[in-house]
Amino acid sequence: MNPACRQLLLQVDGTPGMPPQGLAGVGVVVREPSGAVKTWHGAVLPARTCNEAEYQAVICGLRLVLQRYPLAQVRCLSDSQIVIEQLSGRSAVRASALQPLHAQATMLMHRLVQVEFVFIPRELNRLADALAWEALGGRQQLVYFGSAR
């Protein structure tokens, strides 16, 4: 490995919220290979579906890495098997709404030294998930407070 390049883990997650309202919360966590957290980021971006939200999270994460660690070799971890399979080239992108997001993520990916996409179980992606929900204002909209009906 080139000594100027560093290896980083990029965990991403996106949620369109419940119920979806056209905006997604995205969470991004950048870690050292040891697992130590270097930085994290949450944002609200346009998305109508879970898959659009997951793509927005990947795009946001790749942009963050390009800004802060442009020579990094990245292992991008996500609990979205569809997005991982599509960005790895193992599955076609058939949904027309995902095609421009896929193209954008692919363009960002090619600007980095190396990017590998890896599917991880949801329980291993808790911090990115929490950041995505916090970006939307937290999970309070999932909890009903009031008298029982």
| Domains defined along the chain, listed by start | 7-139 (3.30.420.10)
Contacts of 41 (CB under 8 A, 6+ apart): 27, 28, 60, 61, 64, 131
Whole-number pLDDT of residue 20: 86
User: Is the confidence at residue 139, as pLDDT, over 70?
Assistant: no
DSSP 145: -
pLDDT in tens, 31-83: 999 999 999 999 999 999 999 999 999 999 999 999 999 999 999 999 999 99
Exposed, middle or buried, 52 (CB in 10 Å: 0-12/13-18/19+)? buried
pLDDT in tens, 79-134: 999 999 999 999 999 999 999 999 999 999 999 999 999 999 999 999 999 999 99
Reported pTM: 0.90
Beta strands in 47-85 (DSSP E): 73-78
